[in-house]
């Protein structure tokens, strides 16, 4: 049950991140201006928050608690990264940009750690 629910959550998160990254790429190619990108980001933030809520509500057996917590940290870091990115677009504050990049990197790190924890927990079952 946990594995299927977790897989569903990961698939939703990957799709949302992919869709948002397409918008960022359009902004980088100057197909979207800063104002449009702020609006796009504002429309994506609640979607990321929904995934965080779903992750918090995911029932994880004790052996998978760390998997859930690490993935939750990944989602929260990605959300915060997007908020700082949005704020940087609005203010041109380099600190916002630096924090956004760091948090995006942290999100990836936590995601990898979550998958490693999942693999480790699954191997203990065998």
Which pLDDT belongs to residue 122? 87
* pLDDT, tens only, 50-107: 999 999 999 999 999 999 999 999 999 999 999 999 999 999 999 999 999 999 999 9
Tokens of 57: 């509500």
Q: Report the distance separating Cα 85 and Cα 37, nearest Å.
A: 10
Which pLDDT belongs to residue 124? 80
Residue whose pair of structure tokens reads 């949005």 in the numeric block: 86
Judge whether residue 111 has pLDDT over 80: yes
Judge whether residue 5 has pLDDT over 70: yes
For the chain, give every domain's residue range: 2-125
- List, in sequence order, the alpha helices (H) in 1-126: 2-28, 34-57, 65-91, 94-125
* pLDDT, tens only, 22-56: 999 999 999 999 999 999 999 999 999 999 999 99
Judge whether residue 125 has pLDDT over 70: no
């Amino acid at each position: 049950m946990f594995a299927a629910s977790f897989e569903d959550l990961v698939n939703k998160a990957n799709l949302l991140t992919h869709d948002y990254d397409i918008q960022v790429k359009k902004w980088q190619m100057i197909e979207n201006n800063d104002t449009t990108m702020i609006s796009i980001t504002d429309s994506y933030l609640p979607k990321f928050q929904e995934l965080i809520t779903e992750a918090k509500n995911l029932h994880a057996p004790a052996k998978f608690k760390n998997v859930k917590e690490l993935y939750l940290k990944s989602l929260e870091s990605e959300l915060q990264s997007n908020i700082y990115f949005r704020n940087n677009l609005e203010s041109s504050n380099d600190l916002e940009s630096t924090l956004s990049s760091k948090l995006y990197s942290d999100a990836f790190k936590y995601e990898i750690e979550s998958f490693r924890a999942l693999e480790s927990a699954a191997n203990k079952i065998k």
